[in-house]
Structures are given as C-alpha cells and as structure tokens.
Amino acid sequence: MLAAVALLTAGCSGDGDGTYASAATPSVTGTATAAPTTPSATPSPLYPTNAKGCHPNGEWTTKQAVSWVRIHDDVPAAGVNTSKDPVTIDESVEGYGPLCKTVTVQVEFWKLTYGSAGAGEHTPGATEAPPDYYFDMDSVKRTELRVDGRKEQLVKPPERLYAGDRSVCVGALVAVYVGKPLKSKELPEQISTGSEGVSIGGGDVEFRTERVAEYELSPPAAPHVCSPEGKPTADPYDVPDTTGVPDPLYPTPTFSFDVNDVLRSPNYGD
C-alpha cells in the first residue's frame, strides 16, 4: 500500500536569546494576539485526474501499470478462499484515478498437483528430513478484464479447486497480472512454503516476470504422503504416537518444489 504523508509546519514563540524578564521589570499592559494557525498541507494525489476527469496513462510502462493495479486489487487469503470470496478489482477512490486508458488485467487460477520421491512409505520422524517435493501446474480458469478504476469488478474462483474435500496432494494458486496470458517461461519454477503455510495458507512463489501484481498460494494439506504421480499413498492423519511429532501433518518444514522435475501442462506455449 502506498501512503501520502502530510507535512505540518508549526510556529513557536518566545525569547529567542533565552533570557527571561526580572521581577523588578515594570509590568506592561497590552493586548494578547493569537498566533496564526498554519493549515495542514493537502496530500498530493498519486494519480491526479486531468480536465477530462481521468489520469493519463497512455505512455505507462508495465511496471507503472502493475503498481496501479496492485493498489486496487484484493486477493483473498488462501486459507479462507472459497467460492464465496472472489478476487476483487476495486473502484478508484479520489487521488487514484480513474485512468484515461484501460489496463488489460488477467486473473488466473492454477491447480498444483504435488508429488514427492519416496513419500507415503512411512511418516518421517522429528529428526528425519522431508522428502523431495515437486509440482505440476495446470491452468483451470483465466478471466481477462479491462480495468480503468471506474467500477468494481469481481472474478469468482473455481469452486472445485478450493473445495474442502480436494485431494491432500492438490494445491491452488491465483495471480492477478497485467497484459497477455503468462507464457511458460514466466511461470514459477519454485514454490516455497512450510508448516505455517499448511495451516493458514500462503507461501513464496517466484514468478519469472514482473507483470504479476498479486498472488495467493493455497498449499496441499499433506504433500508428504503423495506419490511421485501426485496420489495419496497413506492416511495423512494416521501418525504413530511419537514424541516430538505433535502435528499429524508433521514434518512440514520449508521446502521448494522444482517444476523441472515434471512436465508442465501442454496448454502453455514457449
């Protein structure tokens, strides 16, 4: 979020040389005059409008468009993202547009199928390293919008992708970005998450482009029981009573998924 700070100026009065009047000094009767009040400065709008009532953006770079969209979009937290929580592109407020020329915005959802080498054979103990994880990425919905800030726009997530009974090996990713649909070379090769990510959602997704304004990751519930093909091979909650393993989804330390280990969806070009 960007914030404009108003600078306030205040005057002060008193003896500039630091001396004080002595008790023997005769008193002087006069009229007290209130010091003038300095008005607060009005913050300059980040995106001021012209005579036509819009902000000129015809010469904007991709970076400028992304910065403006980032202010206006609202991606629900992955942990609570359901079919009732759409991605929202907000209407402009005073000082932020609207724009004279629309910006092309894509809202895209991907299904992430996670696999792990040697997973499902047993539940690792507290001192064991987690298996190597990787993911396959498949676009399930993409909505293209023309955005200028004159109205609110909503994009509803795919219900099945965020269903409560989805596979424990399946995660979801949504991104809001500007321009044309992302190409395969712009998609993430690595996704990092951890034990907190499993419970509340979120993570670090490294898109290979600067066109992404916002994203939200909903990680899989139990990647440690998933086969290399992304199928659960054990009950993720069937954990032996072992000291040091308080969470049935343990261990879920920070790990990376390398898409180079699997083939991407054929829906993407080079």
Q: What is the mean pLDDT of residues 159-168?
A: 90
The Cα–Cα gap between 224 and 230 comes to 10
Q: pLDDT tens digits, residue range 198-250? A: 333 456 888 999 999 999 998 888 888 888 888 998 887 664 444 443 343 43
Of all residues in the chain, what percent carry a pLDDT higher than 70? 60
Sheet with 133-147, strands from edge to edge, namely 204-205, 190-193, 255-258, 133-147, 103-116, 170-178, 212-218
Tens of pLDDT, residues 68-118: 999 998 888 765 556 668 999 999 998 999 999 999 999 999 999 998 876
Q: Is 65 helix (H, G, I), strand (E, B) or coil?
A: helix
Note the pTM of the prediction, 2 decimals: 0.69
